[in-house]
Structure 1
Amino acid sequence: MKKLEPYPIASALFYIFTILYVVCIGVKLILISVGIEGFWHMHKIWVLILPGFNGLDSLSILIGLVEVSLGSYLVGYIIVPVYNFLTRKKVSEHKIEVKPVILRFKTLFVTLTVYASILLTLCLIYDLFVPSEYQMLSLWKLLIPGFTGLNLMSYIVGLGAIAIYSAYTSFIFSKTLNFFENSELKKNNNNTVQKIKVLEETKSTGVRKKYSSKYFGIAAGIFFAILFILIAINMFFSGEDYIVFIKPFIPFFNSVNALNIIGGITVSFLWGWFLGYFFLNVYHWFDKRFNSN
């Protein structure tokens, strides 16, 4: 069992969310300047989850940038210690290895692409059979530029967007985490021959069996619960109605009150645990097949 360090994870989250924030806002401002409306809605993602971001004015954008930057590190320093606490007995029962755990771009990219594509397919099938108030179309229109409805073209656009998101996330995570892993290796190993041998051994091990799917699911559940809390806070203080984005995942949520908040946090955590648990299992499955040697 491998103990996680908060700083590399927090740094990767910082790069992912900060760059995404800049792209979402920057592209929207460019499109507005050339008179294109109704295509790009990704800036509204940040309206949902950032208490200080409420528009495209300079002050709001600056406050949002600070919140994204600090929030990324804060999430990393909340989730990783919780994961380490849950796995503390397993870590202590096993000899802690010096060799790094390499996160391969190919494995992570394929896992994210396949997993997210399956989820998109299931969600769109679900939307075909449920009333409009429980459909996820509003969420897809935010996350996927060019997504217009339940049709084949939107589905193809969605798959393309998933591939782009997966490549972007995989590149940053793999580069950032591997950089810190190898830096730690160089710090702890002065023997060049031993270092080379360890790196060669690592090529065939990857992250297989190094992380617990169950506890990774709990960490993902905490992340989802934090997102829900941020949305609920925004709804409470701004008076905006974001129920259309929440109801597909939490059907009973119809207003911001104590009972709905408690229930929403619980259901959000369960969603995160479910998605995180199966994601890591899928990752281990691909990792085993790509690196069978």
Structure 2
Amino acid sequence: MPDFATETAPFRAELLAHCYRLLGSIHDAEDLVQETYLRAWRAFGGFEGRSSVRRWLYKIATTTCLTALETRARRPLPSGLGAPADDHRVAVAAADPSVPWLQPIPDALLDPAAVVAGRAGVRLAFIAALQLLPARQRAVLTLRDVLAFRTGEVAEMLGTTPAAVDSALRRARGRLAEAGPVEADLAEPAGQGPLLDRYVDAFVRADPGALVMLLRADVELEMPPIPTWFTGRDAVAGFLGRRVLRAGAWRLVPTRANGQPALLEYSAAGDGRFEAHGVQVLTLTGARIARITAFNDPTLVPVFAAPVMLGS
């Protein structure tokens, strides 16, 4: 009899990405991948090989996620809840921890080959757009358009008909089109290293003038769990310059998330040390920064295998 671990272990990273697409949470995705493997282990003795192990695991994972989504609210970004502000002087809403906000996923937890080839389907704008879809449409679109399963295979996984799959896929694609460009397949521009270095330098030195030079005119800034978000270079640079940037207050550690450049944020703790504050995910277009999504959640930093405290 085939060994369960040998047969199933190679698919863990891609199943994590799949659960993350459906759930929008790295914490929930990790939990449900564990549940998927537990259910698969219990059923492995009855697996007759009528489909591939990979497809069988995806069926279990998708069913597990859809069951979980029956009792969970969708995970938005602030841009999915209201209009942006174009003036940094507006009153900023208080953080809303009651909203189950979208979370980033570290590239290190994904299939490296898929990320490099742009096939991972985890860019932040795409994940945010997926959360606008009903759960089953979300599942159909990811299984068909991201993972390239055939219509009949998806129908078997979801216990429905090919006609129902095709109908759900049309509706899902239509809703994504209405949401606007999601940049799911855009590659990051080449030569981004110097741009990121300049951004980190300007941020840490609290130099809004230098920061302005790195931003697109239509740059956007989101900061979950704060519902207020900003659009436009003047508004974003003005908000950061007046309310965030302070010399010596921050350390930023480069990393990767959602197939994009990212930075771990550490804020001064007052004793010469810096404590985990959150994760910034940057969207680059050309030679400028088009979006800054700052997840102000310290619990995300350990997910990147990073310490929660840095020395002076």
TM-score, scaled to structure 2: 0.26
TM-score computed with the length of structure 1 as normaliser: 0.27
Q: Which has the higher contact order (CA 8 A, sep 6+)?
A: 1
**Which structure dedicates a bigger proportion of its chain to strand?**
2
